[in-house]
Every structure is written in C-alpha cells, then in structure tokens.
Amino acid sequence: MSRPTLTLWQLRDGRPGHDSQIRGLVTALARHADLALVDFEVPLLGRLLIGRNPFAGRPAPDLLLGAGHATHLPLLLVRRRHGGRSVVLMRPSLPRRWFDLCLIPEHDGEATGDHVELTRGVVNAVRPAPGPRDGSGLLLIGGPSRHHTWDAADLLAQIGGIVTREPKRCWTLTTSRRTPETFASAVAALGLPNLEVLPGAATPPGWLAGRLATAAVAWVSEDSVSMVYEALTGGAAVGLLALPPRGGTGRVLRGLDRLLADGWVTTYARWCAGGELPQPRTGFNEAERCARLLLERWWPVG
C-alpha cells in the first residue's frame, strides 16, 4: 500500500504534558506516512512579529501541529506565511474556525463540528507492548488541584488496602510534580514488602510510558486525569484512587463519570465492595485514531 509523504512542522511550548501529546500523534502518523519532521520550540512570536523568520530555508509544511496556548498564535502566523494544514491539540484560546482542525477532549464540553474532533481524553504517547502483560501493578499519584482536595491519610489507607489485598503482585508507586514532598516517604513508612516507592523526579524520560505498556493493573488518583487516559491507552486494568472533589461537576469529573459509565474504570469504593477492575480492552488509542483521521481527510491514498 502506498504511503503519503508529508513535511510536518511541530510547534512545542516545552511543557512535558504538551510535548507528550505532540509526540504521540507524530509517532502514530509515522506508522502510516513518510514524515520529514521539523521541530520548533516557542517562544517564536516575538521574532515573527518583528519580521525575523526562524523558518527561513525550511521545506514548506504540509501539516502544522501545536499543543499549548503559547503555540496557537504562532501556529496561525506560520500557516499564513508558509501554508500547511493547522492542527491544535486540546481546546484553543482562539476561535476554533481559525484552525483547520482542533483535537479537543470530549470532557471539555465542546461540540463536534467542521473544525473540531472530540477525543476520549488527551492524546498521548503511550502504546501497548506486544505480548502478554508482566503482572505488575502501578500506583500513580497526583496532588492538590483545582478539582480535588488532597487527603493524604485517606490516600495512604487506600494504597495499603490495595497492596495488602494482592500480596503476590509486585507494585510500584510513583508521584508527580504536584505530589507533596512528604508523601513518598509516608508511603515508604507503611513498610509494605511488595511495594516499591519511586518518586517521579527519579524516573528517566519515557519510564512511565514503558511501564504502562506492560503493567497489568494501574491505580490512578482521580485528580490525574491525563494519567488515567494514559493507563487505558497502555492496556492496563484501571482503578481510581478517591480524592474529595472540590464541588460541582467540572470537566475532569465529567470525563471520569463517562469512563465509569462506559465500564472502562472502577472506583476504590466499588472494588472494596467486591467488584473487580474492568478487564483491559483494546481500541483505546486516540493518537492512532486521530492520525488515521488526519490522513484520510487530507491525504487519502488509493
């Protein structure tokens, strides 16, 4: 089968979460097209506005990708000057119709349309590994957020309950940038022999994506919605560690409620009441789906 050949310019703001989205989509596109990749990190806006062109001499783009609000206006200026189809990941800060396509998580409450494609969660770079899972378990911890309050004592009780109920499973707990500094040591003080505590700052690049590709089970604190979707993409059975919501039904809670209703995840309370984690299902790979959508829309092959 023939493959399209595309020049792809990616505009990044350098934030790890946004870079992961770009990397996931680019990697998926590369499975179906021959890409010439040109990488730029913002801020580019100042140079563009004063007439300096950091893109001089580069091959003209077929596709422009941006993730993060800082990339939106540069993306439009670059398209006006150099052409190409413009695609933003996540809800943009500018009118949707100004871009050729916006890939927006459905929990943001947007309506689909000519310039909007809704995604199940955030596009990410995780991909299941071939072959059987390794039987291990992950505990992925976030921290205080706009949507959830932090209850360390209750979270420690949930972690202890999970790990002691499955003593033959090897567990690894890792933290995020939002996790309070004292939490990892508090978990270690539980003295659980089958649990390794590995702070996120001590993990090398790509470690979490690699573990999610092979782990059998992942429990994720409810505030860490992006890690919930990464765990589902990796093919693990996923449970939610409860944290008190701050009130209302914001976009994060709407997304989790939808996953619960569709049977993709379960809560700690349901699991304690005798429920089981949902069996992993294939097909939760938004990077792959979106890559195919872009190619079929603009560069179909016979």
pLDDT averaged over every residue in the chain: 90
3-state secondary structure of 41: strand
DSSP secondary structure string for all residues of 224-260: -HHHHHHHHHHT-EEEEE---B-SS--HHHHHHHHHH
pLDDT tens per residue, range 199-220: 998 999 889 999 999 999 999 9
Q: Is the pLDDT of residue 59 over 70?
A: yes
Supply the CATH classification number for the domain 137-272.
Answer: 3.40.50.2000
Q: Is the pLDDT of residue 45 over 70?
A: no
Tell me the average pLDDT across 3-21: 91
pLDDT of residue 113: 84
pLDDT of residue 161: 96
The Cβ of residue 257 has, within 10 Å, a number of other Cβ atoms equal to 12
CATH topology for the 5-125+285-298 domain: Rossmann fold (3.40.50)
Can you list the pairs that 68-74 forms with residues at least 24 positions away whose Cβ atoms lie under 8 Å? Answer: 68/12, 68/13, 68/15, 68/18, 68/42, 69/13, 69/93, 70/13, 70/42, 70/43, 70/45, 71/11, 71/12, 71/13, 71/18, 71/42, 73/45, 74/11, 74/42, 74/43, 74/44, 74/45, 74/48
Tell me the average pLDDT across 91-113: 89
pLDDT of residue 57: 80
Q: Is the pLDDT of residue 192 over 80?
A: yes
pLDDT of residue 1: 61
pTM, two decimal places: 0.88
pLDDT of residue 16: 81
Which range is most confident: 16-20, 102-106, 170-174? 170-174
pLDDT of residue 85: 97
So where are the chain's domains?
A: 5-125+285-298, 137-272
Q: Is the pLDDT of residue 137 over 90?
A: yes
32-46, 135-149, 285-299: segment of lowest average pLDDT: 32-46
Tell me the average pLDDT across 5-20: 91
pLDDT of residue 226: 87
pLDDT tens per residue, range 285-302: 999 999 999 999 999 986
Q: Is the pLDDT of residue 148 over 80?
A: yes
Q: Is the pLDDT of residue 279 over 90?
A: no
Q: Where does the pLDDT of residue 275 fall: very low under 50, low under 70, confident under 90, or very high at 90 and above?
A: confident
5-125+285-298 and 137-272 agree in CATH topology: yes
Q: Where does the pLDDT of residue 221 fall: very low under 50, low under 70, confident under 90, or very high at 90 and above?
A: very high
pLDDT of residue 47: 66
Q: Where does the pLDDT of residue 249 fall: very low under 50, low under 70, confident under 90, or very high at 90 and above?
A: low
